[in-house]
Structure 1
Amino acid sequence: MNFGPVTLVLIAVTVLVSWQAFEKPQLLGRLILWPPAIDRHKQYDRLITHGFVHADWQHLIFNMITLFFFGAGIERAFAPYIGPVGFLLFYVSAILVAILPTYLRHRHDPNYRSLGASGAVSAVLFASILINPWQLLLVLFIPMPAIVFGVCYIGYSIWMDKRGGDNINHSAHLWGAGYGMLFTVIMEPRIIGVFLDRLMSPSF
């Protein structure tokens, strides 16, 4: 496997910052998305820093494993167009875009908090699905075509976002997924035709 250097750096930084935040609650409190801190104290960096801290090790490991397996491929696919710095900016901007609707919805709610890289990881994952819809993913150790997983994931996220109550920011997952696909299409409009051709020709 050809590891993506930017992907590895992102994973290393996220693991280090999250680990430190596990040990230091004050650090977690400063980096987490807490809308009143942005609205009242102009701590706009929280719109990005929340993507580098996680609720627990399980949350962190799940996101980083997903980023590890899909980040390198997207980093390579994007390289001819925007290079490694462009991929880094894509990832960081995905953190921001994925969380903005949540922030605007809860900007005056002092009880709301959000954290995790899920929005950016969803952007990477769905960019990969757009490029190769029939790649096989292991979902709970069960092989599943990426396009099938993507449809199920979007449907589940929409349902759970409306239902609520599980302390997971499904809105960020949805916006991140949409941003990942939109960014890819804007970068290379021909990907739409490629996606449709591949979709009509299943290959595992």
Structure 2
Amino acid sequence: MRGISPAVKHILIINVIFWIGTLSIARGTLFENLFAYHFVTSDLFKPWQIFTHMFMHAGYVDTPGGGETIYFQHILFNMFGLWMFGTPVERFLGTKRFVFFYISAGLGALFIHAGWDYFQFQTELSKLISVGFDKESILQILNEGRLKHPEYSKWVAVLGDDGFQTLGRNFFGTLVGASGALMGVLVAFGVLFPETPLMLLFLPIPIKAKYFIPGILLIDLFSMLSGYSLFSPSNTAYLAHLGGALFGFLMVWYWKKNSFNQNRWN
């Protein structure tokens, strides 16, 4: 793997191993249950998922005919972006600092995404508790994972359809992918190499990184607020993207401001 910096190479290999495991073992169910991030009050949540989710990628997607097909685009685009932007960033920061940066951006992405999900879930849960439903009974019913339950109609009467969908979506949702950490790397590249020209595949016009990368973030923000996905699948965790970008920016801005002299690791 010439042309790839050491940490980027090892992160890429780990991601590929996890993806192959997802494809090969129990149609992805085992790997998803163990390593994808699950909602913190779910019985499927395990502490290590806070870290392992950022090395997981979707293995299969449903097809219109009711079957499944291998979904390689998720890992392909993320790993291509990691190689393209992570290698120069690692060479600038140094390997140890880059590993710290990458994991921190991924954790920041999770913190923002999971924090908002938890807030939404608790808001709907408190509405049910306020009218007499028992919290432990609600969590037990949700952890049973049944698509239909006699209590659901009662919950809908209190929460409305939107509130009920929010409750279920946040509880049953999982988070996988390197995108949050990658967005941190992308922002770091823009801060460190702002004059570098970049191009989109469908728009072969060079745009400087200092304009290109904020444009990507604005597209994510628009997609999140509007619910209309411009370039990504509809289940993209845009808030995680923005969270990773925010944490990445804060870290590299601080290091650059201090000229990389204080607390330098390499």
| Aligned ranges 1:26-175 → 2 under 5 Å | 26-36=30-40, 43-55=46-58, 56-79=71-94, 84-107=95-118, 108=121, 109-140=170-201, 142=204, 143-164=206-227, 166-175=234-243
| Partner residue, 1:194 | none
Partner Cα separation in structure 1 for residue 18 and residue 237 of structure 2: 20
- Per-residue CA deviation, residues 52-99 of structure 1 (Å, 9 max, x unaligned), is 1112310001000010011111111112xxxx2222121112111111
Q: Secondary structure at the match of 2:194?
A: coil
| Partner residue, 2:252 | 184
Unaligned segments of structure 2, at least 5 residues: 59-70, 122-169, 229-233, 260-266
The structure-2 alpha-carbon separation of the partners of 1:20 and 1:123, relative to structure 1 and needing over 3 Å to count, comes to: same
Shift of 1:176: 1.1
> How many residues were matched structurally?
186
Partner Cα separation in structure 1 for residue 227 and residue 21 of structure 2: 29
Indicate the larger mover: 162-171 or 119-128: 162-171
Q: Scaled by the length of structure 1, what TM-score is found?
A: 0.83
Corresponding letter in the other structure for 1:22? L
The structure-2 alpha-carbon separation of the partners of 1:41 and 1:32, relative to structure 1 and needing over 3 Å to count, comes to: closer
The structure-2 alpha-carbon separation of the partners of 1:36 and 1:182, relative to structure 1 and needing over 3 Å to count, comes to: closer
Q: Which has the larger radius of gyration?
A: 2
Partner Cα separation in structure 1 for residue 190 and residue 52 of structure 2: 26
8 Å Cα contact 1:102-1:172 kept in structure 2 = yes
8 Å Cα contact 1:32-1:114 kept in structure 2 = yes
8 Å Cα contact 2:198-2:208 kept in structure 1 = yes
Partner Cα separation in structure 2 for residue 164 and residue 116 of structure 1: 20
Shift of 1:2: 4.6
8 Å Cα contact 2:39-2:174 kept in structure 1 = yes
Q: Scaled by the length of structure 2, what TM-score is found?
A: 0.65
The structure-2 alpha-carbon separation of the partners of 1:182 and 1:20, relative to structure 1 and needing over 3 Å to count, comes to: same
Unaligned segments of structure 1, at least 5 residues: 192-204
- Per-residue CA deviation, residues 29-53 of structure 1 (Å, 9 max, x unaligned), is 211111145x656622212211111
Partner Cα separation in structure 1 for residue 235 and residue 3 of structure 2: 36
Partner Cα separation in structure 2 for residue 69 and residue 186 of structure 1: 23
Identity of aligned residues (%): 26
Determine which structure has the larger helix proportion and give its number: 1
Partner Cα separation in structure 2 for residue 14 and residue 181 of structure 1: 24
C-alpha RMSD over aligned residues: 2.0
